[in-house]
Amino acid sequence: MLSRILVPMDDSDQAGHALAYALENFPDADVSVLHVVGVPSMMMGDAVSLTLEDDLDEAAAGRAEPVFERAREIAAERDRAIDTVVGVGHPARNILDRAEEYDTIVVGSHGADRGRASRRFLVGNVAETVSKRSPVPVTIVR
């Protein structure tokens, strides 16, 4: 029986589908939503801007909040509660660093595409990287 599930989430439709899948298919499990901020880019803009903040944790939590609000709405529609976790840095690395704390990972097949080739490249590989390197089972939701 699965008791702890990690659902990495960005603002993409696929991530929302992954959360809905986890909530519907694992009704007795505790679900944690992970959002990673400060994603490295070719110019390091997002990651560098976080380091310039006075309080890194507070800044990261603020950037994650819109994603968590959406996650809470998806959970509320299914009469479920979720935990939220903020990560900073590279999404796949953050997910894999936490993987052993969970029984499984449920991830969307593609992340958010903001029209930048560098972000599309980095985020587009997250599901594949996690599925190849995870020490726990991974479900990829389309």
Spell out the domain ranges in the chain. 4-141
Q: Are strands 104-108 and 138-141 parallel, antiparallel or unpaired?
A: parallel
- The reported pLDDT for the residue numbered 112 is 58
What are 59-112's pLDDT values in tens digits?
A: 888 889 999 999 999 999 999 999 999 998 889 999 999 999 999 999 998 765
Q: How far is CA 43 from CA 19, 46, 60, 88, 127, in A?
A: 31, 8, 19, 17, 23
State percent of the chain over pLDDT 70.
Answer: 77
Give the number of other CB atoms < 10 A from CB of residue 140: 17
The pTM for the full model equals 0.83
- The reported pLDDT for the residue numbered 119 is 41
Q: Is CATH 3.40.50.620 the right assignment for the domain spanning 4-141? A: yes
With cut-offs at 50, 70 and 90, classify the pLDDT of residue 122: very low
